[in-house]
Each structure stands twice: as C-alpha cells, then as structure tokens.
Structure 1
C-alpha cells in the first residue's frame, strides 16, 4: 500500500473502522482477508465495491441476513484428499457445512425469492451464482456422521452388523460377570463390573485374589483392590476386542469412501472458498453500514467532494452535529477558522476518513445526495505531532510531515492540514501557511486547512479558488455549535467572550486601541457578515421547514388523487359492465317483442298495421343509436373462430349470439346479425356456437316463455290421495318457480286433515319452498295452504 495511504490510515483512525468491520465478519478467515484489502485508487473498482455493498444492504433490508456459517479454510482439507488421504469425521463435517452455506446462499439469492422490481441485484447475483453445490455429498456426510466423535450405526450394513455383535457380546460378558458377582460376593470389594484396558473386570479384595481365577489387570492406589478378569470371560473379552478392531476398520473404510467423494469435487469446493470469503466480506460491509447509518455516495472523476449531513463514524449520532462541506466546485482550497474545541479538526478528519471509507468500498455516514471523488493519494497532517524521541518541537514535527507531503503530492491528491503554520512566530507562521496554500492552489490540489490566522482569512477572501469556512460559535452561551459554515470566515470573538466573562470594559477598549485600524475594520466586517449570515440561516431554516410541510401535503394530495382515480376507474368499469348487461337484455326483449308484433300484425287492420310498422322502425332506430352511443369494448376472443361460413352461429365478445351474413372484409371485419341488429365485428372477437347448444337454448327459452304465460297462481288437488297429489305438486311448484311467481295457493280441502299434513311434511324437504301457512279465514282457512317460493 502507498505510504501516503498508510500515514493517512493511522492519522485518520481508519484502523478503528477496520476493527469494527472485522467484528461483523462471520469467519476468522474473512478477518484475515480484510487485512489484505487495500484502499483502491481505481474509479471502476471503487464503484464496484460500493455497489456490491449497497446490494448486500438492500438484501438484508428485504430478506434479512443470510446464514453465513461454516466458512473455514478448506485448502488443507482438500489438499489431503487430493493426495489420497482420508479425512477425519470433524473435517468431513466441515466440508458438509461448507457445502451447506454455499447451497443456502444460492437459495437466498434465487430470483423467485426476490422482488426484482423493488431491488436490483447484479454484482451479488453473479458472485453467488458461481458457487458450487453438491447436496448429495452433503447429505451423505450428514447421514453417516453424527458428530466428530460418532459415526451412525447405519453408515454401512457391515458397521450395523458389527455393532449388533458388540452389543450382544457385551450382554453375554456382563451376564457371566454378574453370575460371578453373585457366587463370589464375599471375595469382592464391590459387587460391580468395571473396565480396565478395554476389558471387563471385577474388583476383588487383595487378600482373596488367589481365590478368583483370572488375569489381574490393575491394582488400586491403596493396594486394597485387584481388578481381575475372570477366566470365564477372557475369551469373550478377546472376541469383543476383535469386534472393536473390526468396527474401527469399518469406520476407517466409511471415512475413506466419503473422502473419495470429496476428492471428486475437490477443485469445485476449493473454488468456493474465495467466493464465500468475498460474500462474507461484502455482507460485513453492509452490516457496518447499518451500524454507522451509512448510505452510498455518488462517485465522480473530477476530484469533487460534497458531503451532506456527514457524521464522523465514532461520534454519538444523538449528540453530534452533522457537517455540510464541499470542495472542488467553486474552489479547490478551503480554509476553516474558528475557536479551539469548536470542531475544526473533527470536520477535516470526517472528510478524510469518509473518503478512505468510500475508496475501501464502505458506505459513508452521510445523506445519499453526498458526492465523493477517488484520489490517488491522501495526506493528513493532523494533531499534536511533537516527537520526544526525535527531540522535535510541535512545529518541527508538523514541518517534517509538510515537507514529505510537498515532495510526494500530485494533482490527484487530497491534502488535509490542521493548524497550518502554528507553533512558531505568528507572522512567520502565517507567511509559511500562505506560501504552502499557494503551492496547492497553483497545482489545483484539493486542500483543506484549519487556522487561527487572520492573514489566511483575508487570503481566502481575496484569492480566486480559495474559500473561507468557519465553525460557528454562540457568544451568548460561550460555546461552539459545531456547525460548519462555508463561505464565512471565523470571527475572533476574543473581546466579546472576555466582556461576558467579566473583564472590565476599560481593559477591552484599551486592547482595541492597541490593534491596527485594519484589524479592527476586518473584525467589524466579520461581525456584520456574522449577523447577516445568522439572519440568512434563520430564513433558510424557515423556508426548508415550509418546503418540507409542502412536500408532505403534496404527497398526501397525490395519494388522494391516485385513490380517487382508482375509484373512478372501478366505478366506470362497473357502469360499463352494467350498461352492457342492460343493453343485451334490452336487445333480447326487443327481439321477442318485435317477433310477437310481427305474428300479431296479420290479425289487425291495415291502418293499425301501419302504425305498428312505424313503431317497429322507430324501435329499431333507437336500438341502433344506443349501440353506437354505448361504450362497449370489443375484446379478442380466447378461442376465436377459424373457418367461418355464411350462416354460422357465433357468439360475440359482447356476449350475444349472432348469425354470419358476410365473410370477413380486407380489415378482417365480419357482418353479423343478432336479432334485428346488423353489425360488423372483428373476426378474432367471434366464437363459434355449437348448433345443438343454440337450438337447446332457443327451445328452453320458448318453454320458459310458455310456462310464464300459462302457470296459474293456485292449484286444486281436492279428492286426490297423497301419492297422486305429490307428483302434481312437484310439477306445479317447478313451473311456478320458473315463471317467477313468489306465492301460490294449494287447495287441498279440510276433510280429515291427513292430505294437508302429509303435503306440508313433504314441502319442508322441497328446496324452492321458503315457507307455507294456512290461508286467511275468509279465503279458505286451513283448507288452503299459501306457499311462498324462494
């Protein structure tokens, strides 16, 4: 890394930012990777880094954080299987976790799980897309290995068989030993079975060890107990040891087979490591943005900086005052003045640190409208540089840094000076500071300097390309506001502060006499500017408040207008649908009426026939006009007619049936007739109607028409038995319901009341019957049932 960046990183405390970033990484291998990342000076690379961080931040906001577990240094594991070695259970589980996190990331970012209209993903999508996954290998490892110390019984058939044999053999040995415990309890220290050197033994009192035939494997520390393997179980213990050996051999075989599976995908797995580290690094950057309340700045190639409401990341956001600062637009150098502890140093540190953050690929704690450039070098001479080891004064230490900067600076550098020229004679210091600022100005180097010198304030006022800025100070409270004001030189305030602290007026006035007239005039000008600036700020704040209020009101109005437009469209659509329905019903009714008039015209006088003809013509004209005036939308049919012939029955997109009169013209329009109406309709809006279906509908309509005309409002079933009356009532109620009658009378007579009761019991099960009751006394009483239909 360039030494200029190294010094700036230390001076501007960028290392603290990196420590915060490392804490947010999921894997230790990622923290090592962060130490290797350098601050970039390539515009395209910086832009890429910022965009991928912004994408990760969007993903976290929309989908939550991905599960970034299992990211480890897999290289040594893969190297072992590539040379034919077998992996331990722990290493295989690490491979499984490594594959699982890769698969999880691909699921996390897959297209159908993200609303691409709300969030655009390009960099992260391409990065994660390259991850290798192997779910079958992942599942095989997880199914066979329970933990780093335990292999599943069903990892293989042979292992399952061996473990069943081990269990059986253990039971056999324990049973024999329990029998010995029961028969030799007097010789034993305790009636328990224990193990020594992997073999089952019993604890025998040392004085009785000769009475128990067997092999002594151990003696207690006190010398009172001998742990003896009775001869009755020696052979069984040998067999058990052999089974354990077979178990270990089978486990080694299983691990070897799993390791071979890993070896088959070794190249792909190892390629995942770099991708996973990069993904973890990017999401760590996104989480740092959340911690710092950071946003993505706009980048430019023109060495321009414009920070809007920018915060130093290590200041408390609740109490810190954000700064607005720009450089490289109307001026290339900025001179900041103001009182000590007023925030000058923090301001230039904020500019330098946020620039380093952006060039590293981190979002910055400032408004989204902020703009930042990419610099080749960043130099910072900030703070108390006094060096005891080198016997250098504060001034000398600063000058060593400044000499280094002047030797290495170029046109694409950002330079930050804190208290330029301080620590020596004020006159000489001011002269040196001005000469250094001239050096920067002539080379168009972006430079920000803090100072107390009035000479530099005047220099900024009188030199093109240099601007003043000041840290505001509240004289009433004798405290800084930490607000940076561009274009305004700082006022000394020494006399005013002294007066408010109680220094006698005569001393203050005497002090003023000792100042040169030009200095007094300059302070008066600054005081006037300060007053004007205060008024302007108050006006601006008031205007901004009004602007915000107006924007809120405009948003509310826009929302209401949008809602009204939506309601309007819904109402219009509903009205159109209702109009279509009414028009189609009217056409059908007119069709029937005109047909009936035509049939009846033959039986009336010629004079009345002429009047009827005139009425028919008038009705047809009205119907045609209503069709032209109606706003009916002709839509394309889902299943348009293909082969069309004159005389075909079709259904239009308006829902009515029609007959084809002419074949399609050169525009694809077909002349059809629906009832008395003739109209041209697009061919693709017509659907062929099945002839049988059309005939059935016409017959049904005639039947319904006849039923409506002939059904009476009452029926007499007196003298019928219930079975005969039931069939008659069924047909009658159906006809009445279809004809639209709401209420009918059934005359059944009084008699014994049996027919009445059975009919009423039956009508309770008829779906179209809503209710029934006896007729009024003077209209038949309980000899008549009044039935209300649904």
Structure 2
C-alpha cells in the first residue's frame, strides 16, 4: 500500500529530484531508501535535522562534503585480512579527510555561537583517524600510484628498474643508428612486446640480430625481435619488475592491516557522514523549491498557506490555502473536470508525505501539518487490463482495501469518488462511502463532479464544500481553491461564450428545476462575496504594512533626534565647563597678583589699580549665552496640565500634554507619536475646557497597576518593541528600580531586538540576562534610573 501511495502521489519523483542534491553515494543511498515516518516524535526530529541544515546553508551558502566515499566494503575486506587495492586505500584516506573537514566546519560555526545541537552531536561522534590518513598519503599519490618513498626497498628496486631500462635503450639505440639498420630494420624505433624491449626487423634479416622473436606484423614482412645482446638485460629488467610487484603488494597489505585496526571507528564515521550528507541534501532541495519547515501536530490539523505542488514549475503553479481539521475534518471539492481538483488533492497528499519524511514543504512560513498514522489515496484512472477490470471496478477494489484499514488517525484522498457508473447510483455510493470514512473519524478530502454532493457539506457537521475557480470570461480554470463555495457547472455561460444561440440556452434552462437554479445562483453569489472579501483583506493588509513601515521610520527619526539633542547638550556642557575653568584660572591669576602687590613693601597699591583688578575679576566670570529655550522658559509661568496645547521648542512642533512623568518631564503627543519632553523644552499655548484630573499618586496606585515582569513570548518583533517601550514608561511611573522582560530563547532574534532598544533608552541604567534561577537566557533583567 505504501509503494502504491508513493507512486500515486508522485513521492517517488520527489526522491528522484532529491538524489541529485546528495554529495556522495552514501547520501544517495539514504535518499533511495527514504520513506515517510508515521511516528510523531520521529517526524519532529527529522524536520529539526533538515531545518538545522537549512540554517547552515542560509548562513554559509555551501558545506564541504566533497571527497566522501562509500568504503564499507573495503573496510570489511580489510577486517577479514584481505589486501586492499591502492585506489581503495586512497578512497579511505579521502573519506577520513572529508570527515575532518565537515567536523572543523561545524566546530567553527559553533564557535560563532550558532545553535546546532543535532550537527554537534553528529560531529562529536566523528573520530579523526589522522594517523591512518597520513600513512596512506605517504605511500600512495593522488592518482592511486604507490610512490617510491613508500619503503626504502621499493626505492632501490625502482632505481634498478630505471637503470636496467636505460641500459637496454642505449644498446638498442646504437643498433637502430648503425649504418646497416636502415637496410635491415622496417623502422628505426624501439618498441615493447610481452613486456620486453624489441626492434622491428625485416623478415629476410632475422638471422642478423639473433635473439628471440616475440611477434610479427600482419603481413609477415616484419618480425619484432629481442636481439641476443639485450636478452640478459631484459631478464634483469623482468626480475626487477617482479621484485617491484612483490614489494608493492607487501606495502598494500601492510596498509590494509592498519585499516583493519581502525575499521570499527571508520565504519561509524561513514554512518555519521551518510546522515550529515542526507540532512544537507534535504535542506538543499528545500532551498531550491523555496520550501519552509512546517509545524506538526498529532490532532489532524492542517493549515497550509500558499501551498504549491513541487513538481509544477513556479511559472505555472497556483498557490492555494488548504485548511483542514479545525472546524471541519472533511472537504468535498465539486465542479467540472480539468479544473484543478486532482492537483489540489495531490498537493495535500504529497506535502503530507514530504513533511512526514522530514522534508520542508513548498508553502509559506507558519504552515502547519498533521502527522497521520496512515495515508490512503484513490486517484486517477487505474484501470487494469490484465485483471479485466473496468475503471469503476478498479477504483472500487482500491476503495475496499482502504476501508479495511482506515481509522481516526488516517488521511484519505478520493478523486472523482463514485465515477465510472450510473450517475445516480454513483452519487449515492459516494455519499455512503464518505459517511463511513467520516464516522470513523478520519480526515478526508474528496473530489467529485456529482451535483448531489453539493448538499453534502451543508447537511453534516465537520464537512465543508469547496470548489476550484473557473473564469467564464477566458473559458479556463484559475486553479484557485475556494473553501466554503461548492462548484457549479457553468455549462450555460460557457455555451453562450462559445456562440450557442440564446434561444437554445433559454430553452435548456427551462428543463432545469427551479431549485437547481436557486442553488446555482447561491453559489455564484458566494463566489462573488468571497472574491470581494479577499480583495478587501489584501487592501487592508497592504495598509497595515505601510503603517508599520511608517511607524518604524518615525521611531528611527525620534531616536536620531534624541541622540542629536543629547549630543548638542553634551557639547554645550563641555563648552560651559571649559569657560568656567578658563575663568577660574583668570581669577586665580588676578588674586595672585593682588597678593603680590600687598606683600610688596616697596610698593603702594593705588586706587585705580584696585578698580582695574575688580573689573578684571568681573570680566573673568563666564558669560554663557542664553539660548532660545532658556528665554522661552521664563515665559512658561503657567503650570502645565494634561490636555494643554503646547509647543515643543526643539522640534518646532505643536502637541498636547498627556501626563506628567516627573517633576521636570512630561509625556506629549505630537500627531500619532508619543514622546517624553523636558518642561524647559515646552511652551504653553492654550488649555481646553476644564476637566477633572487625578493626582499622580492615583495614577501610581490601583488605576495604573504594573507587573514587575513583561512576557513577550509569541509576539512579533515590531509589536514586542512597542510593548517594551510602553512597559518601561509604566514601570518608571510605578517607581520600580528594576523589572524583568521575558522573551524566550528561540532563535535569539527577539532577545537581540529587545537589547538593541534598551541600549538606546535614556532611563535604562543597565541590563543583563537572567541567572540560572531566574530563567537563564530566556529573560532580561533591566535596571531603571
């Protein structure tokens, strides 16, 4: 049944595409054996593995998984005492190196404080085996050739080989260059036959050289002769070659013994590397199809947002929202053929299989999918000529097998249920089958073109009608799934568009019952209402996003203005300090001179000198230029109250007082923005009609209760920052010296955003992560000033 489902839902085609993303034969083997899991805990683990690998690919782009081979057979042969070939040993050394590379790569990411618990566990299991790799590399080069330096004996043998070969060539060269060679030789070359050096001699001069004939040309006119003069040298060469072969075999046997000693850890390394390669193959495929990790549950809830069939190109596929298992557990999709009903059915089934196999699904972030104990499907024309079964019989045989196995944890997919027989009987049979599956508690999606099933969803709780939209103007399906709207035939509209006489169409409508017409009109109204609702929702969503963007920009501007103001104040204070220091120095100098004149017995202090000294002291006092704010402050004699219209002098903007924050600071609303402003930066303008106000003590009392901690878990980033800003203001009003902000651990993005905000807040003295008893890195403790 599983093989049948994989074929019908095209899961096998997904595996064929997935295998190309594996870096080694080990990963390819894992892909070929891939099957969906029906255990919730295992599915969660598989998806977490893929998501972790996806994180690495997003951060680094690629992973060093080259040079890894399936060396399990070589390792087992070495374990039983067999000698490995040079290329087998080279593959083992390459695999050791590949394992070390991926281990170092992940360790470097862990040092960068990336959370990769699954990959960390895998690389911790990899044994480096550096010594074995070094021994193999010292003996075998990259081309699989045993090097001279593998042993002293091999080096000596190969030197003897080269020496013998050189002597033979010198001897034969002298023969081919002799004056008689041109006449007796077919060509003045040296060649090899039977691993021995020979020269081509014409048939009639064979006795001139003596020696051994090893071969002759096709015509027989040329003989390849090993001259008697080099027979002994060739014998020495052959002997050296035998010695070389024996020494190479000894070296390979010795290396094989080293491999046998490390075979067990090496086999485990191969197993771990296969798992890592498989993880990244799934992640790479998910990246290619723009997939995301779905949430999973055990209660049959499916919420696929903008789900796409992964085997249809992005240019052609139409994303659809598929929601099931919350208010209803069954969907009946009605409508004409070639409208996209089967594609929708296959998309749901295939994405469920992918998720349960640990693969990301081509749907928007936030999608959710259920883990079923079994998935059954009856899709397509599966007529069996060999079994002499009709289309209806073939489908019914399959459905009978499904009904034997289905339970409350199953997902059942029926395509054109009841087709292939009498329409009235087929519709009745389809309703009975749906009732049976529904009563067992299974999750079911069925497609049909029977109009009788349009009423099925209205008469039963937990069942909803759906259809695939059809554009009458273009006479083609749009492939958009419309939940809650049953399909209609559109036969009259299509016929009219194609040119059928209106008289014929009106006559045909007369044969249709009034009840059927009412149903068709109701369906048309539902379609129009849903389209309008979706359009309005998209408009509202666009406005919301624009407002969020504007609010974010204004927040940045306010922060920039505050920073600029603080910088200007700091600069003014520094200038004032320098002026005071300069004045003090001048005054000290004047006093020193006066004391000197007083102590000078020979000098009498004259009146004009004292007047001049007093004038210099007065001039030494710093005269700081009063800015516009100081001048304006003198004008603010009116006590400010909530509701007063004021002018923020530094911003040249008007606003209203919301409340008094402290003795010298007010909260002011300017347009849609709220900000805290010093009293000296405010100019009173007007006051509305008197309203009853409450003292600050009341605000700090029961009407403004503030908890000592703020929980942000589950919040979006923008909303979280706004809540933190308001909470800090409230905590200051409540007089708290410190508060706690709970943001959870997660990916750390929310924690970073909160810290960035606290860093620039002028009323935050400092902050730190919570201790072990306080919640650890999931909580931030803030000290206020």
TM-score by shorter chain over 0.5: yes
* 2:27 is the alignment partner of 1:30: yes
* 2:487 is the alignment partner of 1:490: yes
1:82 maps to 79
Cα deviation for residue 370 of structure 1 reads: 0.9
2:733 maps to none
1:129 to 103, 124, 141: 124
Cα deviation for residue 314 of structure 1 reads: 1.3
- In structure 2, how many angstroms separate the alpha carbons of the residues matched to 1:248 and 1:539? 83
| 8 Å contact kept, 2:96–2:128 | yes
1:509 to 502, 506, 509: 506
Cα deviation for residue 561 of structure 1 reads: 5.0
1:711 maps to none
TM-aligned CA distance change 1:193 to 1:462, over 3 Å? closer
TM-aligned CA distance change 1:227 to 1:433, over 3 Å? closer
1:725 maps to none
TM-aligned CA distance change 1:101 to 1:416, over 3 Å? same
- In structure 2, how many angstroms separate the alpha carbons of the residues matched to 1:579 and 1:253? 90
Cα deviation for residue 132 of structure 1 reads: 2.1
Q: Indicate the SS of the match to 2:305.
A: strand
2:171 maps to 176
2:441 maps to 444
- In structure 2, how many angstroms separate the alpha carbons of the residues matched to 1:177 and 1:98? 47
1:145 maps to 140
* 2:72 is the alignment partner of 1:72: no
Alignment of 1:656-675 (within 5 A): none
| 8 Å contact kept, 1:339–1:480 | no
Cα deviation for residue 100 of structure 1 reads: 1.6
| 8 Å contact kept, 2:65–2:277 | yes
1:521 to 518, 522, 537: 518
Cα deviation for residue 40 of structure 1 reads: 0.6
2:472 maps to 475
What is the CA deviation profile of residues 34-80 of structure 1, one whole-angstrom value per residue up to 9, with x for unaligned ones? Answer: 23232111112111111211222222222122232333321221122
2:151 to 147, 152, 156: 156
Alignment of 1:490-639 (within 5 A): 490-561=487-558, 602=599
* 2:307 is the alignment partner of 1:310: yes
What is the CA deviation profile of residues 171-208 of structure 1, one whole-angstrom value per residue up to 9, with x for unaligned ones? Answer: 23322333344445354443333333333333333333
- In structure 1, how many angstroms separate the alpha carbons of the residues matched to 2:559 and 2:295? 32
- In structure 2, how many angstroms separate the alpha carbons of the residues matched to 1:562 and 1:303? 47
Cα deviation for residue 612 of structure 1 reads: 8.8
| 8 Å contact kept, 1:89–1:148 | no
Cα deviation for residue 214 of structure 1 reads: 3.4
| 8 Å contact kept, 1:41–1:375 | yes
Q: Indicate the SS of the match to 1:469.
A: strand
1:646 maps to none
* 2:247 is the alignment partner of 1:250: yes
1:426 maps to 423
- In structure 1, how many angstroms separate the alpha carbons of the residues matched to 2:88 and 2:578? 74
TM-aligned CA distance change 1:270 to 1:606, over 3 Å? farther
1:636 maps to none
- In structure 2, how many angstroms separate the alpha carbons of the residues matched to 1:525 and 1:555? 45
What is the CA deviation profile of residues 121-160 of structure 1, one whole-angstrom value per residue up to 9, with x for unaligned ones? Answer: 2222322332222334324423432245522233333333
Cα deviation for residue 101 of structure 1 reads: 1.2
What is the CA deviation profile of residues 519-552 of structure 1, one whole-angstrom value per residue up to 9, with x for unaligned ones? Answer: 2222232233233233223322322333343344
Q: Indicate the SS of the match to 1:444.
A: coil
TM-aligned CA distance change 1:234 to 1:305, over 3 Å? same
TM-score by length of 2: 0.71
- In structure 1, how many angstroms separate the alpha carbons of the residues matched to 2:238 and 2:334? 86
Q: Indicate the SS of the match to 2:141.
A: strand
- In structure 1, how many angstroms separate the alpha carbons of the residues matched to 2:294 and 2:544? 24
Q: Which moved more, 1:132-141 or 1:36-45?
A: 132-141
| Structure 2 unaligned blocks of 5 or more | 625-785
| 8 Å contact kept, 1:322–1:483 | yes
TM-aligned CA distance change 1:258 to 1:554, over 3 Å? farther
What is the CA deviation profile of residues 70-126 of structure 1, one whole-angstrom value per residue up to 9, with x for unaligned ones? Answer: 33321221122223333211111111111121112112212358744xx53222232
| 8 Å contact kept, 2:583–2:622 | no
* 2:300 is the alignment partner of 1:282: no
- In structure 2, how many angstroms separate the alpha carbons of the residues matched to 1:128 and 1:578? 60
- In structure 1, how many angstroms separate the alpha carbons of the residues matched to 2:138 and 2:570? 60
* 2:193 is the alignment partner of 1:202: no
Cα deviation for residue 424 of structure 1 reads: 2.9
TM-aligned CA distance change 1:95 to 1:587, over 3 Å? farther
- In structure 1, how many angstroms separate the alpha carbons of the residues matched to 2:586 and 2:75? 85
| 8 Å contact kept, 1:303–1:412 | yes
2:405 maps to 408
Q: Indicate the SS of the match to 1:99.
A: helix
TM-aligned CA distance change 1:370 to 1:605, over 3 Å? same
* 2:268 is the alignment partner of 1:271: yes
* 2:458 is the alignment partner of 1:461: yes
2:649 maps to none
Q: Indicate the SS of the match to 1:379.
A: strand
* 2:10 is the alignment partner of 1:13: yes
Q: What is the total number of aligned residue pairs between the two structures?
A: 618
Cα deviation for residue 331 of structure 1 reads: 0.9
- In structure 1, how many angstroms separate the alpha carbons of the residues matched to 2:119 and 2:162? 53
Q: Which has the larger radius of gyration?
A: 1
Cα deviation for residue 602 of structure 1 reads: 4.2
| 8 Å contact kept, 1:601–1:609 | no
| Structure 1 unaligned blocks of 5 or more | 624-790
Cα deviation for residue 448 of structure 1 reads: 1.2
| 8 Å contact kept, 2:471–2:478 | yes
- In structure 2, how many angstroms separate the alpha carbons of the residues matched to 1:137 and 1:592? 84
1:53 maps to 50
2:749 maps to none
Q: Indicate the SS of the match to 1:489.
A: coil
TM-aligned CA distance change 1:580 to 1:271, over 3 Å? farther
Cα deviation for residue 563 of structure 1 reads: 5.3
Cα deviation for residue 396 of structure 1 reads: 2.6
- In structure 2, how many angstroms separate the alpha carbons of the residues matched to 1:90 and 1:543? 66
TM-aligned CA distance change 1:203 to 1:459, over 3 Å? closer
Cα deviation for residue 353 of structure 1 reads: 0.7
Alignment of 1:726-765 (within 5 A): none
TM-aligned CA distance change 1:215 to 1:403, over 3 Å? closer
- In structure 1, how many angstroms separate the alpha carbons of the residues matched to 2:543 and 2:433? 44
Cα deviation for residue 248 of structure 1 reads: 2.5
2:259 to 249, 258, 262: 262
| 8 Å contact kept, 1:307–1:325 | yes
Cα deviation for residue 580 of structure 1 reads: 7.1
- In structure 1, how many angstroms separate the alpha carbons of the residues matched to 2:571 and 2:522? 72
TM-score by length of 1: 0.71
| 8 Å contact kept, 1:7–1:379 | no
